[in-house]
Structure 1
């Protein structure tokens, strides 16, 4: 599974686009299913996203000629239609991130094929858990798009109205991951999942805090934080908790919408306010939700621990968590 993550993350943007990422995820899950067991899935792409009112994914991806899409996958080993969903997994799948009109410099853009690391990590985590005999129902949501510049691309000052009625002013088109994850979090809650885990290569602030040797975790649920730390230790992976408090939720204000997609003012904690944005799309963010900011999912240059490229770091931790 880890090799699948590495190989998928390392594919260039010409070789991997949103719908193909969803198809590859389905194929991996199907390849590990026990005999006579099946999954159900749906890929909502292009204009169909508007019909389903998944505005964030559509708006971020509409600037590309390659359609944005949402994968909804249901692993239900009980085969009972009304079985409880124990976990919902929500992954960021930006197959290339130019930054949009908030254009990245070349050095930062060069490895943005890796911005789908969250989607790849969660897919592998679920596949590994299935291969290890997971008997819990899990739903996987991959929020996939290319963040490109064109005459149709998302513009600064645009306001997105989400399915749950929350409005978001776009002040930085390079803060697009949270815009697509919001749709996935809404869908995850519609499934009435007992717990939600999201994973994303979300912020440069997380990398500034811990480098590329750790993944960051943010949550208000002490039980899920403890589970993540315990599972990471058992898998010889590394996580580090960053703060997420009520006051962070007040640092993403907007004059023209309910919230903005970046923090307001200087001296704010970028990774914490990004998580605070996601918390706005959780009905009760204090419980049963944890966010992984995957600082350690990609290695720009090799070192004594890691080769260049995708690492798969975090997949084993999350897979282990699905059994708890």
Structure 2
């Protein structure tokens, strides 16, 4: 480890370009909607301040994080505004990660990596966050109609202009990561990674480690599954887009909840909660990994940070992995599988010349 905060949350070097963050970050998406109605702003600012006081420094947001209503139309882009208000006066204590690339027009979801769009998104995020520079700026989804080198070229300019410090990719395959890294060093790759989502381990994780790129697992608790199990489905409010995820559909969930039951039993043996056990598994993947579990409750945040003290043996790791091995988990992990890393190859740069 690279030292600790005053509250003993360890810090790590994320990637090899100089970015240092807390060992666990905080995903902020659900504070503004998506998982049901947006939460009261004062409560979320209190939670953010608590997280920062506890020593968590990496706050993760995006320009599309906001309330998703039943007609699949996004409302005002509120999450970055919330983060900006929360860090007012304490900017130096945090690293802000935000993203661009997913856009909604007339209710239709699209992906864009065009240079003018990249720059416009960056300027808009800086304004909403009310900051001068974004610490870590991710390509949220890869524009497969455009060579990744084109998108990276504009991001490189934004680094040179001091508008962003470090560049990240989200849901990118190994070859896309390599091509992007050749234009400008990539600091972090954000991917869904948890006990029941491990498809990135064969190629993406080794590629990141070969190139000195940090890994930021999102949804490390299976979008709340490893926290609540069967109770999760019963408690999802109207407007919670998890209801659309294949793994949470009744025909799959009845089977998948058996995974939680096994993890729950093991957690009882280890003297921790199921979510702490699942998060500890991710933390034991290496010191180049910074998971960003999200929450809207201080007690859940405290529970997540408590996973740092859960120690797992090699045998523990193997036992946990056996619960989700093979085809045990039923259903795709995402609603938009077409824009995940398995479909993130982009045209060669030479295609622009033809």
On whether the aligned pair clears a TM of 0.5, the verdict is no
> Which is greater in Rg?
2
Q: Of Structure 1 and Structure 2, which has the larger fraction of its residues in strand?
A: 1
What TM-score comes out, normalization by structure 2 length? 0.28
What TM-score comes out, normalization by structure 1 length? 0.30
